[in-house]
Amino acid sequence: MSRGLTPLLWAKAHATPSYAPPPFVVSHGEGCRLFDLDGNRYLDFASGIGVTAVGHAHPRVVAAISEQASKVCHTSGMLLHEGYASVCRRITEISFADRVFLGNSGAEAVEAAMKLARRYFFDRGEARTGFVATHNSFHGRTYGAISLTGQPKYQTGLAPLLPDVSHVPYGDLEAMKGAAGATTAAVIVEPIQGNAGVRLAPDGYLAGLRDICDAAGCLLIFDEVQTGIGRTGKWFAYEHEGVAPDVMTLAKGLGGGLPLGAMATTEQLGQTFQVGVHASTFGGNPVACAAGLATLDVIRDDDLLANATRMGALLVESVQALDHPSIREVRGRGLMIGIELDRPAGPLKAACLERGLLTNLAGEKVLRLLPPLIIGELEADEAVSVIQASLAAM
């Protein structure tokens, strides 16, 4: 009998039925591998949806977590600990930003960005409260974030949403020009749409958004919750186009598996968050910050940005070379990759899992690969072999 049966039954009976029945119950992980309670081994190309950037149980992350946990686990914003200051400083060293607010998740980072934008214009006496986002975007599940999210399926039955939000097609600069105006506080865009199916914007899109926001006098927010922290082969995806936003949201890879999110911005905008304007009891938790710092260290010291670029190119080329008639497109940047089929991708995901490769879906027809940034050629080759066999079996 499977050792996973009891937790599955208990979850079925006692947890809200929020998640689809899982394919297995996790025992532990090591590097790019996950193990279930029966000892089966999986190659993890999902990374908990792009979170475990340096793999599972990385020795440097584990050491940082346990050392911090043995000292102090929580302070709240009432007190300062070294990790909070260090994470803020590190983010400013590797990005356009000068000021950082730490939270626990992507949605919280988005909420912080929304509050910052409205409050900034309020303080200046400018009547700017609107947001413009894009169709098919994903910004999280809290009320502000689902109001920005451009996918009606996440909004069903939850109205009324936040007013003053409009949506335009992703990649369409003309439409954005028409929507961003005198009452707009901010435009928010993912540099690459992740949840929508790894959708890349046309060249020049981010630069065009910068010009539009400057002309309209509103802020530009890049939601880098998924694309940030090395996922696309640079620390942040905006670097590919050489344009900086006014505000950037981060989470997923930042904490190396622990809950850590950030809203990063410029000196001038950062002054908006004066004492009392925004706060989070758990935000920038000492253990999460220790894990985040260790993760950032490993990415830098092991040259994982270059590795993500190289392995990503290898994966895209190898899957393209399979030249399978059901594959419509293989696309991505670094290790954020989408394989779009001419049919629902669920059966391909299931076939991969049967062969020990864990992936996830993004949109009905797209198999999304978000492996840890530490994968080598052996793991890439193994994944491509599994995908090839799974396509044949589909």
Ligand X SMILES: *Cc1c(COP(=O)(O)O)cnc(C)c1O
Least Å from the CB of residue 227 to ligand X = 7
Least Å from the CB of residue 18 to ligand X = 13
Q: Looking at beta carbons only, is 262 or 352 nearer to ligand X?
A: 262
The gap from C-alpha 11 to its chain's centroid, in whole angstroms, comes to 26
177 is catalytic: no
Full DSSP string of 48-117: HHHT-TT-BT-HHHHHHHHHHHHH-S---TTS--HHHHHHHHHHHHHSS-SEEEEESSHHHHHHHHHHHH
Q: Which of residues 250-269 bind ligand X (CB under 6 A)?
A: 251-252
Among positions 223, 239, 340, 379, the unique one binding ligand X when judged by CB under 6 A: 223
Among positions 42, 45, 121, 138, the unique one binding ligand X when judged by CB under 6 A: 138
With CB atoms as reference, the residue minimizing the distance to ligand X is 106
Among positions 140, 230, 245, 363, the unique one binding ligand X when judged by CB under 6 A: 140
Active-site residue, selected from the candidate residues 45, 223, 236, 273: 223
Among positions 130, 191, 194, 256, the unique one binding ligand X when judged by CB under 6 A: 194
Position 379 contacts ligand X (CB under 6 A) = no
Pairing of strands 336-341, 327-333: antiparallel
Task: Enumerate long-range contacts of 159-168, CB under 8 Å, 24 or more apart.
Answer: 162/131, 164/129, 164/130, 164/131, 165/130, 165/131, 165/132, 165/133, 166/130, 166/131, 166/132, 166/133, 167/132, 167/133, 167/134, 167/135, 167/137, 168/132, 168/134, 168/135
252 is catalytic: yes
71 is catalytic: no
> How many other C-beta atoms lie within 10 A of the C-beta of residue 278?
18
Least Å from the CB of residue 292 to ligand X = 14
Position 190 contacts ligand X (CB under 6 A) = yes
Q: Which of residues 107-126 bind ligand X (CB under 6 A)?
A: 107, 110
Position 280 contacts ligand X (CB under 6 A) = no
Give the footprint of ligand X on this chain (CB under 6 A).
Answer: 105-107, 110, 138-140, 190, 194-195, 223, 225-226, 251-252
